Structure 1
Amino acid sequence: MNFPLPPQGRRNRVFPSSTPTLHGLASVITCVVVVCGLYFGRQVLIPITLSVMLSFLLAPLVMLLRRLHLGQFFSIFVAVLVTVFALAGVGALIAAQIVQLAADLPQYQEAIEQKVETVQEKTVGRADSLMTRAATALQRVTPTPPPAPPQPRGRAARNAPAVPMPVEVHTPAPTPMQLAQRALSPVVGPLETGFIVLVVTIFILLQREDLRDRLISVFGSDDLHRTTTAINDASQRLSRYFVAQLGVNVSVGAVIAIGLAGIGVPGALLFAAMAALLRFVPYIGIWIAAVSATILAAAIQPQWTMAVSTLILFIVVDVVAGQFAEPMLYGRRSGLSPLAVVVAAIFWSWLWGPIGLVLSTPLTLCIVTLGRYVDRLNFLTILLGDQPALTPAQTCYQRLLADDPHEALLQADRLLAGMPLIDYYEQVVLEGLRFARNDALRGVLPAEQLQRINQALLDIIEDLESVDDSRHLPPDEPGFEGGAAREAQGRAGEAPQPVLCVPGRGAFDEVVVAIVAQLLQRRGVPCATTSYEQVRSTRAGMVDPRSTHVICLVSLDTPEAPPYLRNLVRRLRERSAHARIIVGVGTLRREEGPVIVEDPGASLTATLHDLIDECAAGPVSEAKPAGFGN
């Protein structure tokens, strides 16, 4: 089959990319300045960020208390007090578990020593034996080294340089005050940060509405609707994420505590609290607690039963929480792609350490939400969000450009699981062909690539002939295979009239004709196809005026109404004066755009659905032809 190709005398023109502008340079400088500010200002920004995140977590509780008519200040006070007691309780529980575990470790000394010896025999012992054999073999082939030079005696020994005397420096014993400072310094810093976070959180909750108004005034007072929507979306999304994540983590900790206690692992509450807290760290958090508990279980028992049971418990609980509980609470999509979560964890942990690792997901979620409403930050949503970067039509065309028709066919199979075949052709294939048509008009597609794209599309269309659409449409629906034919037979008492499908001269019009012919055959309408060259060279000689009652003219050029299409309609009308001519795909109606020809016997269709329905209706349509007769 020959496809229309661009003129061979012209070279393909590839339009150069836009040159860097001052705006792009300013954006890069701004990003660098922001990152530097986040890094060098972390001592101030970390407490403020923790306060903002804590306010998002406490906001639903405060709103609930206010609905009980407790007052704003009292509601905030109760919410903060509950948070302090909860954190203090968790801290005391962890400390008690650590002390108890440290006190019980001597009881497991024999089992731990036996486990260490076994591991050394299996690993280090075998490695030492292998190295010993290698050293022995190396000594056999290595020549004997020369003897050492004799030691100097007499005057030579007296003239030899003196060996320096070793000197030892002893640090004086620390005073009680220094010991107290060393013991309290690791505690004073977190307590100070926690106190600042609580104070700032209280003020944020007290002035929540005022802060929202100030943010609206700073970032978008000109467009109040967009700014308000962005702030509400971010606050609701983060509040929902924190509350749901906290509920899931607490439930996971409770289940792990019960499971470890049943298995017999000491310090079950400690590892349960570790698992609940570390689950805020994406992907790897819970496995830190799992590895720690598994190592302890393997060390305190000579057998491996307890260790294997502990590891299975963590795996089962994490799979149930991640695959069932979390999707039920806040959907299967958190708004971030898996790669974005990993990259964000690395980035924020580099900036702010362990706290940045815990806050990486909510902070990145804020940035992605902001990018949905700020045009200049939309690239962040594309890079970090979980929405597809390309539309299905763009993806289809990209796969064809990459000479990967197999992947395009796999995409078709995935999409056809949720949409009818005609919708796939109209929303994916035809939209992708419009992108291809624009590139062909620009001259950036070589002739060989045009042929490959057309052939790949024809192969895909042929492969989709066996697609079953019955799961999408009821049996009596006209779109069901054979339904329109039965409907036409019942109405007219005879079989549907055959349709002649004629393509335009566009680069992809013959592919569109193949789509239309397939859809008509699935509707029980017989059809025949021809080519633009045959119709033009014989002045529509392929048209039999006695048997041709419906002519379907298909082209992607119809929205522009080029002169050749008008001439083609005129030739078809001259050959078959009484035939009904239907023009598509993508033709605008008369009141919306250009008209191909003033022919009262022709119908213009705006969509592929309309084109198939008009062709299946027969030579005389009960409806008024679209775009004519006004």
Structure 2
Amino acid sequence: MSTTPAAVPSEEASIVETASSDLAKLRRMVLGLFLIAACCALYFARDFFMPVVLAFLIALTLTPIVRFLRKRGVPSALSATLLVIAFATLFGLLAYMVSGPAITLVNDAPSIGRTLAERLRHVQRPLDRVNDIMHQFDMMTGQVSDPNVAEVTLAQPGVISRAAGSVLSGATSIGITLVLALFLLASGTMFYEKIVQSFGRMSDKKRALRVVYDVEREISRYLLTIALINAGLGVAIGTGLWIIGVPNAVVWGVMAALLNFLPYIGALTTMVVVAVISIVSFDSLGFALLAPAYVLLCNIIEGQFLTPLIVGRRLELNAVAIFIAVAFWSWLWGLVGALIAVPLLVVIKVFCDNFENLQSMGNFLAAQQTMDPAETAPEPAVSSAPHAGPAVLDVVTSAQP
């Protein structure tokens, strides 16, 4: 039986559809393998990647100031050097101011625990009963070791050696971060010139530069604004706690400013820690609850009024994405990863919003729908001569915001 001519295009279309489906599956598999490899690299090479990511975030945060000074005739290298020195000095002063009270708190931790247990004795009694029941259950299931059986343990490094190693590693990471941030800020338009040189047509150059500038402007403004808001929140909380009479108010102000980069979790952690210190420090339980109530009030004003008013609603993220990002980055890089999780999530969202193929991902990360699926990015109205046009530096300068 001969094959009809109409059946041939149908078979070819089926073959093309099957090949396209297989190619799409292969792409998804390659993407999955790439993500797994990237996670492994970020985890095992965190001593390298962590300073690099921190340097880029610092550079993006300080970029608006460098750009502002450059428009007024100050060279980028000079302004970047002064800003990095000021940032390092401020960081060093805060670390010096916090180190003494923090060491005292660590040394007094056993006495603080005993005092807290004594003040909350009536609340602890039900918990003690639950602990007794769990201990009996562990003994019945054999999860508690027999006290008569000797256990062999390997000797661990001493506290002093571990602390010295941590301080040396932290100082090295901070140094790499600051030096790399300085180079990024002082580079000026070098990266944009490289982007221009990567495209042939003038329209592609203009479009690429416009997208890059929009992304950089939004991210840098957001990071700088959030950093200033968190610093103001830390000053307000520290000052209020000092007026109330809470010991080491500077420590809790710095902690509030840093932990506020963690939405929900940071404010809750600050409130709980301040509540514990207040209960231990004051005899009256009612007066002790005044300090955590003040912290809660400051966080409500900041989170519900100030930040939405200053930053706007467009870069708000949904709570599910925030918690997933915080859990993922804290697993990768610990406390530092948890603190930079939300800024990195904002960076990803801004990138997705500026690329048509990734706008659905950006819409998923947003707290509310911020894009119309029918909308597409407008094409710049410029000439598309393939090999003619102004110099690279002129293109970069003309595309600057």
Query: Fold-level match, TM-score > 0.5?
Result: yes
Residues 1:86 and 2:67 aligned together: no
SS in 1 for 2:189: helix
**One-letter amino acid matched to 1:223:** D
Residues 1:240 and 2:240 aligned together: no
Query: Which residue pairs with 2:241 in the alignment?
Result: 260
**One-letter amino acid matched to 1:75:** S
Query: Which residue pairs with 1:23 in the alignment?
Result: 24
CA contact (8 A) 2:256 2:267 kept: yes
CA contact (8 A) 2:258 2:339 kept: no
> C-alpha offsets along residues 193-248 of structure 1, whole Å, 9 cap, x if unaligned?
11111111111112241112324555897722332222112111111111111111
Shift of 1:387: 4.9
Shift of 1:388: 2.2
Aligned pairs for 1:298-337 within 5 A = 298-337=279-318
> C-alpha offsets along residues 500-540 of structure 1, whole Å, 9 cap, x if unaligned?
xxxxxxxxxxxxxxxxxxxxxxxxxxxxxxxxxxxxxxxxx
Q: Assess, with a 3 A threshold, how the Cα gap between structure 1 residues 279 and 165 changes in structure 2: closer, same or farther.
A: closer
Q: Assess, with a 3 A threshold, how the Cα gap between structure 1 residues 323 and 117 changes in structure 2: closer, same or farther.
A: closer
Aligned pairs for 1:308-387 within 5 A = 308-387=289-368
So what's the TM-score if we normalise by structure 2?
Answer: 0.73
Q: Assess, with a 3 A threshold, how the Cα gap between structure 1 residues 299 and 368 changes in structure 2: closer, same or farther.
A: same
Shift of 1:90: 1.3
Query: Which residue pairs with 1:37 in the alignment?
Result: 38
Alpha-carbon RMSD across the aligned residues, in angstroms, is: 3.6
Residues 1:62 and 2:63 aligned together: no
Q: Which structure has the highest helix share of the two? A: 2
What is the CA–CA distance in structure 2 between the aligned matches of 1:390 and 1:78, rounded to whole Å?
Answer: 40
Query: Which residue pairs with 1:203 in the alignment?
Result: 183
Specify every segment of 5 or more residues in structure 2 that has no aligned partner in the other structure, as ranges.
1-16, 137-147, 375-401
Shift of 1:121: 3.6
**One-letter amino acid matched to 2:304:** Q
Match of 2:266 among 277, 285, 305: 285
What is the CA–CA distance in structure 2 between the aligned matches of 1:270 and 1:302, rounded to whole Å?
Answer: 22
Shift of 1:301: 3.0
CA contact (8 A) 1:335 1:386 kept: yes
What is the CA–CA distance in structure 1 between the aligned matches of 2:200 and 2:312, rounded to whole Å?
Answer: 30
CA contact (8 A) 2:195 2:209 kept: no
Q: Assess, with a 3 A threshold, how the Cα gap between structure 1 residues 123 and 384 changes in structure 2: closer, same or farther.
A: closer
Match of 2:81 among 56, 73, 77: 77
What is the CA–CA distance in structure 2 between the aligned matches of 1:224 and 1:392, rounded to whole Å?
Answer: 26
Shift of 1:22: 0.5
> C-alpha offsets along residues 67-108 of structure 1, whole Å, 9 cap, x if unaligned?
554433221111000000111111112112224546777997
Query: Which residue pairs with 1:193 in the alignment?
Result: 173
Query: Which residue pairs with 2:387 in the alignment?
Result: none
CA contact (8 A) 2:117 2:124 kept: no
CA contact (8 A) 1:101 1:266 kept: no
Shift of 1:280: 0.8
**One-letter amino acid matched to 1:384:** L
Query: Which residue pairs with 1:46 in the alignment?
Result: 50
What is the CA–CA distance in structure 2 between the aligned matches of 1:27 and 1:70, rounded to whole Å?
Answer: 48
Identity over the aligned pairs, expressed in percent?
25
Shift of 1:27: 4.0
CA contact (8 A) 1:220 1:227 kept: no
What is the CA–CA distance in structure 2 between the aligned matches of 1:304 and 1:283, rounded to whole Å?
Answer: 25
**Higher RCO, Cα 8 Å, sep 6+:** 2
CA contact (8 A) 2:325 2:342 kept: yes
Specify every segment of 5 or more residues in structure 1 that has no aligned partner in the other structure, as ranges.
1-17, 135-163, 394-630
Q: How many residues align?
A: 341
CA contact (8 A) 2:64 2:220 kept: yes
CA contact (8 A) 2:116 2:276 kept: no
What is the CA–CA distance in structure 2 between the aligned matches of 1:127 and 1:194, rounded to whole Å?
Answer: 43
CA contact (8 A) 2:278 2:288 kept: yes
> C-alpha offsets along residues 40-71 of structure 1, whole Å, 9 cap, x if unaligned?
14423222111111001111222344355443
CA contact (8 A) 2:326 2:337 kept: yes
What is the CA–CA distance in structure 2 between the aligned matches of 1:102 and 1:368, rounded to whole Å?
Answer: 39
Query: Which residue pairs with 1:481 in the alignment?
Result: none
Match of 2:162 among 168, 182, 188: 182
Q: Which moved more, 1:195-204 or 1:338-347?
A: 338-347
Q: Assess, with a 3 A threshold, how the Cα gap between structure 1 residues 109 and 214 changes in structure 2: closer, same or farther.
A: closer
What is the CA–CA distance in structure 1 between the aligned matches of 2:351 and 2:373, rounded to whole Å?
Answer: 25
Query: Which residue pairs with 1:137 in the alignment?
Result: none
Based on CA coordinates, which of the two structures has the bigger radius of gyration?
1
SS in 1 for 2:231: helix
Q: Which moved more, 1:43-52 or 1:114-123?
A: 114-123
**One-letter amino acid matched to 2:75:** G
CA contact (8 A) 2:199 2:205 kept: no
SS in 1 for 2:263: coil
Shift of 1:392: 11
Q: Assess, with a 3 A threshold, how the Cα gap between structure 1 residues 348 and 127 changes in structure 2: closer, same or farther.
A: closer
Query: Which residue pairs with 1:607 in the alignment?
Result: none
What is the CA–CA distance in structure 2 between the aligned matches of 1:217 and 1:269, rounded to whole Å?
Answer: 50
Query: Which residue pairs with 2:192 in the alignment?
Result: 212
Q: Assess, with a 3 A threshold, how the Cα gap between structure 1 residues 335 and 217 changes in structure 2: closer, same or farther.
A: farther
SS in 2 for 1:223: helix
What is the CA–CA distance in structure 2 between the aligned matches of 1:68 and 1:287, rounded to whole Å?
Answer: 43
Shift of 1:270: 0.7
What is the CA–CA distance in structure 2 between the aligned matches of 1:375 and 1:106, rounded to whole Å?
Answer: 56
**One-letter amino acid matched to 2:329:** W
Match of 1:115 among 115, 119, 124: 119
Residues 1:271 and 2:252 aligned together: yes
